[in-house]
């Protein structure tokens, strides 16, 4: 009997295997290093699943470290939300929560070390002048007139910078590397700038702040990170990452490895564009269910297991590509099909009166909660003389392949009875307002009658006397274009005007009154829906999470 080959590993795990086998590392330490200047989105989820996933697989640990070096844009609100989102995804950092601001004193001392080694200097050029003299890919940069100032003078000025003796932007500290280097990041990058702004953790203790490039690698080294995993846009920063580690007395030398970021069609991942969508009112906020933020998809009803499964499916590569959002939606369906309880809801109701059913009678029909989980058992659903069915489940003059309810035709009510339509009632405008039907009492529970007749359709229903009202928010893809980032014109030109439809006349099975905000259920035959945070005991609101099948694929086909 042949043994199947082991599953292939991505290139990052292969590197880790090699490092462990060679004895370079005795274990693995990874980190997830968000900047606390916004909310996490699906792109971050890929990095979270990678870093925390590797820690779990290799018996190592993953640090959560906030790169909080820009107090102008950072808020404690984001620190709290990021921790909440990571835990929602199913990961935890244990006791390994860190902040770059924890290392400000050490970073300052290392900046002094570079100055004393002749590898950093205080520059008095403006930010614009530094940009202008940096050069480009075809021409070298121009050295600052202060590049060769004496070490003692640079050190004294840097101390004065920290003491607050200069105005914001008046001076900066730059590394002294190579103004003709082919990599622009190596052309004397700025290490510190003067910035008077209250920091969410250090208050007004500091008026100089280190730049991200100077902070990140040294923070990794202080935490003894073995593999510093980041997306491909940082590939050109790796020589600078290594230069700092090689020129400072750091306690360890992590290895930076880059992988492709997560891109999805029919959406945008840019922080700037997401902010624009929020601030200009194109969406209701950062937790709008149409956004790819983790807060948005959680409010929409996406389960964390589906996000983890999706990240595993798309894998880790070095190649930039755009993933089909249908893969994500299918991962959501797979989880919810296994886990979500079933209920009945009628979104566009039409009244049905069973003329031969006793007026005051109410029965309780037994219905399966989830056929995928028999252990969940059954629920009782009230049945009465007057019901609601979906308007689209009836046609007065149906085409040949329409098998649902029509005049003279029978259908099965799910977990109910066979009913036949006998009469159609219309209003003065000719709109159908009521169907008068008869039921077969021998078919209780949807059983086939003794005479052997069969029906070709089963439809869902809700007892009118017991129905609860709800607002239903039908969310769809936010953009019409598969690639709104690259489509003609502004990305805003490609917003989908039908990305949100609100239905106010829906009628729901009474059991849905007990569903808590944040819980996702299946509305039988309709899709998966999540009770929204706007729901109250007297005013239910449900968001459509995803349909039972990919309606977009059907439309394109």
- CA 471-477-480 angle, to 5 degrees, is 130
Check if 35 is active-site.
yes
Residue 452 CB-half CA count within 13 A: 0
Q: Pick the catalytic residue: 134, 261, 273, 480?
A: 261
Q: Which of 162, 271, 379, 420 is catalytic?
A: 271
Compute the chain's Rg from CA coordinates. Answer: 31
Catalytic residue of the set 9, 35, 312, 525: 35
Fold type of domain 271-341+470-556: Ribosomal Protein L25; Chain P (2.40.240)
- What distance separates the 2 farthest-apart alpha carbons in the chain? 104
* Architecture of the CATH domain 11-259: 3-Layer(aba) Sandwich (3.40)
Tell me, what's the pLDDT at 98?
Answer: 98
User: Is 46 assigned a catalytic role?
Assistant: no
- Indicate the domain borders of the chain: 11-259, 271-341+470-556, 345-460
Domain 345-460: give its CATH superfamily. Ribosomal Protein L25; Chain P (2.40.240.10)
Walk across the sheet containing 29-32 and list its strands: 29-32, 61-66, 97-99
Asked if 333 is an active-site residue, the reply is no
- pLDDT means per 10 residues, the chain with 557 residues, are 62 97 97 95 97 97 97 95 98 98 98 98 97 96 98 98 97 98 98 97 97 98 98 97 98 98 95 94 97 98 98 94 95 98 98 97 97 96 98 94 94 96 96 97 86 91 97 97 93 97 97 96 98 91 94 55
Q: Please determine whether the domains at 11-259 and 271-341+470-556 fall in the same fold group of CATH.
A: no
Please give the model's pTM, rounded to 2 decimal places: 0.93
Nearest Cα to Cα of residue 261 among 239, 286, 235? 235
Cβ–Cβ < 8 Å for 51, 83: no
Task: Give me the pLDDT at residue 63, please.
Answer: 98
pLDDT at 1: 46
């Amino acid at each position: 009997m042949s043994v199947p080959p082991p599953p292939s590993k991505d290139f990052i795990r292969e590197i880790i295997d090699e490092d462990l086998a060679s004895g370079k590392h005795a274990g693995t330490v990874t980190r997830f290093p968000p900047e606390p200047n916004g909310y996490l989105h699906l792109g971050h989820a890929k990095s979270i699943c990678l870093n925390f996933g590797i820690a779990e697989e290799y018996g190592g640990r993953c640090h959560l470290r906030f790169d909080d070096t820009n107090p102008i844009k950072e808020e404690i609100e984001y620190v709290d939300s990021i921790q909440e989102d990571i835990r929602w995804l199913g990961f935890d950092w244990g006791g390994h929560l860190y902040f770059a601001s924890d290392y400000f004193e050490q970073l300052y001392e290392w900046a002094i070390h570079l100055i004393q080694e002749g590898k950093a200097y205080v520059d008095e050029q403006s930010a614009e002048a530094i940009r202008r003299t940096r050069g480009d890919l075809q021409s070298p940069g121009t050295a600052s007139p202060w590049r060769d100032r004496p070490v003692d003078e640079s050190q004294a000025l840097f101390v004065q910078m920290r003491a607050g003796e200069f105005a914001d932007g008046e001076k900066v500290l730059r590394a002294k590397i190579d103004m003709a280097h082919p990599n622009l990041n190596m052309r004397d990058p700025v290490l510190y700038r003067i910035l008077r702004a209250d920091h969410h953790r250090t208050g007004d203790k500091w008026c100089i702040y280190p730049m991200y490039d100077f902070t990140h690698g040294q923070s990794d080294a202080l935490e003894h990170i073995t593999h510093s995993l980041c997306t491909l846009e940082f590939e050109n920063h790796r020589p600078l990452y290594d230069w700092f580690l090689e020129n400072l007395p750091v306690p360890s030398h992590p290895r930076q490895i880059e992988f492709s970021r997560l891109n999805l069609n029919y959406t945008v991942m840019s922080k700037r564009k997401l902010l624009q969508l929020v601030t200009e009112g194109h969406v209701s906020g950062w937790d709008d269910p149409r956004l790819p933020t983790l807060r948005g998809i959680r409010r929409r009803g996406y389960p964390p297991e589906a996000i983890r499964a999706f990240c595993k499916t798309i894998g880790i590569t070095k190649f930039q590509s755009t993933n089909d959002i249908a893969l994500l939606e299918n991962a959501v369906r797979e989880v919810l099909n296994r886990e979500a309880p079933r209920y009945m809801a009628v979104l566009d109701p039409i009244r049905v009166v069973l003329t031969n059913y006793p007026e005051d009678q109410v029965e309780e029909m037994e219905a399966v909660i989830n056929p995928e989980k028999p252990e969940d058992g059954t629920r009782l659903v009230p049945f009465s003389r007057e019901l609601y069915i979906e308007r689209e489940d009836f046609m007065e003059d149906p085409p040949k392949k329409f098998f649902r309810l029509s005049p003279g035709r029978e259908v099965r009510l799910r977990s109910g009875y066979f009913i036949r339509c006998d009469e159609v009632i219309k209003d003065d405008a000719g709109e159908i307002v009521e169907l008068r039907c008869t039921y077969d009492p021998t078919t209780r529970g949807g059983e086939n009658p003794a005479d052997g007749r069969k029906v070709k359709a089963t439809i869902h229903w809700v007892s009118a006397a017991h129905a609860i009202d709800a607002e239903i928010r039908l969310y769809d893809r936010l953009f019409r274009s598969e690639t709104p980032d690259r489509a003609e014109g502004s990305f805003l030109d490609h917003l989908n005007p039908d990305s949100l439809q609100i239905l106010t006349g829906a009628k729901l099975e009474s059991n849905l009154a007990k569903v808590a905000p944040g819980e996702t259920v299946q509305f039988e035959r309709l899709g998966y829906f999540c009770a929204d945070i706007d729901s109250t005991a007297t005013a239910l609101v449900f968001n459509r999470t995803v349909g039972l099948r990919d309606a977009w694929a059907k439309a394109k086909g």
